[in-house]
Amino acid sequence: MKLSFRRRLISVGVAIGALTLVGAGIGTAQASTAQHSRPASVKPTVVLVHGAWADGSSWDKVAAKLQHDGYRVVTPPNLLSGVANDAASLRAYLDTITGPVVLVGHSYGGMVITNAALGDKQVKALVYVDAYIPDQHDTVYSLTSAVPGSVFAAEASTVFDQVAIPGGDPHYPNLYVKPSVFGKAFADKSIPAKDVAVLAARQRPLAYSALVEESGEPAWRTIPSWSVIGKQDAVIPAAQQIAMSKRAKAHTVEINAPHLSMVTDAGAVTNQIEAAAKATN
């Protein structure tokens, strides 16, 4: 009986020792794996900034595609009150985001992101979608009229309905695009007339001061940029977009689209945004 008991103790000891060795092996393997594995790269947050006479819904198709591909997407409101104030508001929003950012602007949103991103180390890429890419001292008006072809390079009273801002300077009213001009400026036959009518009906006004306020030092001098150029754009002619993109040394793609390319060609716009995002990793 004593011999049998001793044998049992030996057997248990051997078993415990074997488990200890196996456990040590597992621990070593895990440590080895941990040492040689690399942490997965973090996808940047994509911040989509809408243009004048619009709201964040203009990005809905692109936002859905980006989210499907695993990106965090936010579309903060653009105040449309003037370049400096709008850029400061966006910068305050960017300061709440942790981690890398790809900052995207459409149309007037390009003016805003160019100023908001200056000196922001979290912003790894700028993407301009049928957008203004201003240099210092440029204005929306000067860039719009730089080459022929823009619907808005005309007397303001012929393209805009003007509404006074209560308590504001009467010379700097809010501007709404006339319904008769809206479709010519923003859309083409790829957007049904009934949808264009809805967009015109719910447009948000742009302060006149936003057209004539000078842009500051551009963030694209220090942050890599990408652009999407709609060759049928009637707001910012393609020739002007190409000139601005070259000046900013942007990675450029040209597509056969109107000013609202993120609505008519969401896939192409998304691809360019994701190209910028992947380049930040």
Q: How many CB atoms lie within 10 A of CB 160?
A: 22
Structure tokens at 278: 């992947």
Contact (Cβ atoms closer than 8 angstroms) between residue 244 and residue 132: yes
CA distances from 77 to 55, 216, 218 (A): 7, 21, 21
Establish whether 107 is a catalytic residue.
Answer: yes
Exposure string for 204-221, b = 16+ CB within 10 A, e = fewer: ebbbbbbbebebbebbbe
Please give the structure tokens belonging to residue 64.
Answer: 């859905």
Distance separating alpha carbons of residues 36 and 122, to the nearest angstrom: 28
With CA atoms as reference, report the closest residue to 186 among 130, 259, 107, 261: 259
- Catalytic-role residue among 107, 215, 225, 245: 107
Cα separation, 245 vs 243, in Å, equals 5
- Three-state DSSP at 225 gives strand
Q: What is the DSSP letter of 77?
A: P
Question: The dihedral of CA 153, 199, 50, 247: what is its sign?
Answer: negative
Count of C-beta atoms within a 10 Å radius of residue 25: 10
Dist. CA 65–CA 265, nearest whole Å: 12
Which of the residues are catalytic? Answer: 107
